[in-house]
Structures are given as structure tokens and as C-alpha cells.
Amino acid sequence: MLNKLILALLVFLLASSVAGAVELQRGKIKIVLNEKTGRFVVYYSEDIASPVPISLFSADDPTTSKIKLQLADKVSTLGDDGTFVPVFEALPAGGRIVWTGKTLKITQSFEFLTSAASSVVDGVKETLSLTNISEGATIRPAVRIVFDSNLGEKKEHFKSQTGDVISSETKWESSFPDWWLSPSSLDEKIGLLVMTGKGATVPSRVVFANWKRLDDASWDFAFRQGRDFNLLPYSFNDSAVAQFYDAQDLAPGANRDIVVIFGNRSAITFAGAKVGTANVLSDLLQESRNKEGAGSAAVAQDLQALENIIGQINAKIGEPTKATEEDLKLFKAILDQMDTRKAALTNTTSTKP
């Protein structure tokens, strides 16, 4: 933990770069993404109408979760050196960073997911598209992703889909449960759930170990089954998970996709999850929160939003059995948001000379 505290201090000192982070939000999920380093933190809010975001990743220092690329004899950490130059782009369904190197381009895309257990977004689909941009050479890139979540470090570090508790160094190879979970020790409704199949790319192996031991290793490390999550005196009871995707031949112009799926444990599973949301009210609430500006344009936006809300109310009246408690909370949240905007517009108008 001492090592992480030092890293957190460094992040604080470099706050100017964090201040420019991009926020991507849909439904119950918010991603705070540093477009220059690619580091991100995922937050979950159980109540979409009155959100109280809880970080599913280690939020004190987002640099502790990271992606490494191995190409030939060189290992690079995305965002830590100049090997790959990033360019961020916002998209209707999320966002993406394109990392360009000399022979390899990585497109890191974020899309929001809605599980079968939810009517609004409760997960994320992260896709790493590796493209060989060399002029004629076959390359063999490999990927290592480290997830750092401190949710379960005070109780049960990790659980698997089969019900096993993972409280010491463990490796999965050959066969995998559908997912692993870092459950919150404070709230049984909260936890980082990461798929290892069922729509996600199956890793070559998954390693549960001490975070610093994983971080100090350039790639693989001296694994020992059953070793605890300590690395004294530097790191105590500090766990993380590394997912490895071994090298594959990539011909010039060829592409390889690695899909990573994660979200809150309330989903139970993200098998069959859909990109986006089927709940129009959730999207209307997000649009209302994102509105900026004043004057006639703002009024026109709100009138259009009100028309959309009336349409949704009429639809629910027509099929009352399909109206849920969450729908009622969303209606209230949207109207409250519009009241806030109305007050701000009124104050702006009244202060004009």
C-alpha cells in the first residue's frame, strides 16, 4: 500500500493533466478517461435518478490499472512512453483512443453495455483492435491487462462464477469460469465483475497476485500458487488481476480484436448484453444533464425534451404494466433537471441590463 500512496501523491502533483479528463456517462456507469494517458476509472451508481458514484477501480491512483504491449523484445505500457501516440475521439456510443506506433496501431474503444438484468447501462465493452501498419513484415503483438480494484481487499479479495473465493496467488489456464468478481466489503450490491468469456475474448491465462509483484514484472513473473497478497515491506494485502493474451501472427494490414467486458456485479453476467440502452428515459436524462448554453436555443432544446417526455408518459399510460419504479425515478430526475435549468435561465435573464 505504501507504494500506491506514493503513486497517488505523484498523481495529485500532476493534477493538471487529470483535470482535463473526459467523462463518458450512460445509465449507471461513468467513465473518467485521461485522453493523453489512456488511464481511466469506472464508476457505478445504483440509483440513476440521484447518483452516488462508487469507483469499481482503484480511484486514488488510476495509473495502477494498465495495458502493456509486447512486440518482439520490447514491452511498452500504453500512456507511459512515446512508443504509441494517442488521439481521442468521442463517439455516440462511448469514445475511443487511437494509439499509433511504427508498425502497430491500437484502437481502444469504449462502448456502454446493458445487461439482461438491467433496463439501463450497467457495464462497459472495451475493445482493443490491433492493426499491423508495417509495410511488409508480419508482427506478433501480445497484450497484458492489469485490473486494480481495492473493493474486496478488506474481506474477500476475489470470487469466481463457480463460487470459489480467491484470497491468495492463483492462476487460471486452459479452462475458465465465465467471470471473476472483486466484491465490495462494504456493500453487497457493489463489485467489479469481469467476463472471461461469453462475449469477451478468452484470455490465455488469468493471474491473481500482489499488485506490486505484478507491476514490478515487465511481463510474466515467478508465480507461486497459494502465496499471499503481501510483498513486505512495500505492499500489504494488496491484490490485482492480470489477464494475458499471448502473441499471435499479424500479417501486414491484418487486425486482431481483444474484447474486455466488465461492469457492476448486479448484472450477474454480461453474457448477451446489448450495446447501449433500451430505456429511452435513461438517455433523455443524460441528454438533459449534458445540455449547456442559454437563450432561445436552450429554450428550444428544453421544449423538444419536454415533448419527448410527454411522448414517453403517454406510452407508459398506454401500457401501464410496463412502467417500473425506475421509470418513475427517471421521470422525476428529468423534470428536476429541467427545473434547475429553468431557474438558471431565469436568473440569467433577470441579471441582464
Q: What is the pLDDT of residue 8?
A: 42
Cis before 233? omega within 30: yes
Cell numbers linked to 193: 465483475
- Strands of 170-173's sheet in order across: 74-77, 66-71, 142-147, 239-245, 205-210, 170-173
pTM: 0.78
Write out the chain's pLDDT in tens, 353 residues: 445 544 443 443 333 344 458 999 888 999 999 988 888 999 999 987 778 999 999 877 788 999 999 999 899 999 998 899 999 998 877 899 999 999 999 999 999 999 999 878 899 999 999 999 999 999 999 999 999 998 988 889 999 999 999 999 999 998 899 999 999 999 999 999 999 999 999 999 999 999 999 999 999 989 999 999 999 998 899 999 999 999 999 999 999 999 999 999 999 999 999 997 655 566 666 656 555 555 555 566 566 566 656 666 666 666 665 566 766 777 777 777 777 767 766 665 555 45
Q: How far is CA 201 from CA 204, 256, 259, 345, in A?
A: 9, 11, 5, 48
Non-local (6+) Cβ contacts of 13 within 8 A are none
DSSP string, 168-182: S-EEEESS--SEEEE
Domain regions of the chain by residue span: 2-275, 280-350
**SS3 of 270, please?**
coil
Q: Which CATH number fits domain 2-275: 2.70.98, 1.20.1740, 2.60.40, 2.60.120?
A: 2.70.98
Tell me how crowded residue 37 is: count the other CB atoms within 10 A of its CB.
Answer: 20
* Run of H or E including 97: strand 94-100
Q: What is the pLDDT of residue 239?
A: 95
Cell numbers linked to 99: 494509439
Cell numbers linked to 271: 453474457
Q: What is the pLDDT of residue 108?
A: 97
DSSP string, 124-169: EEEEEEEEE-SSS--B--EEEEEE---TTTTS--EEETTS-EE-S-
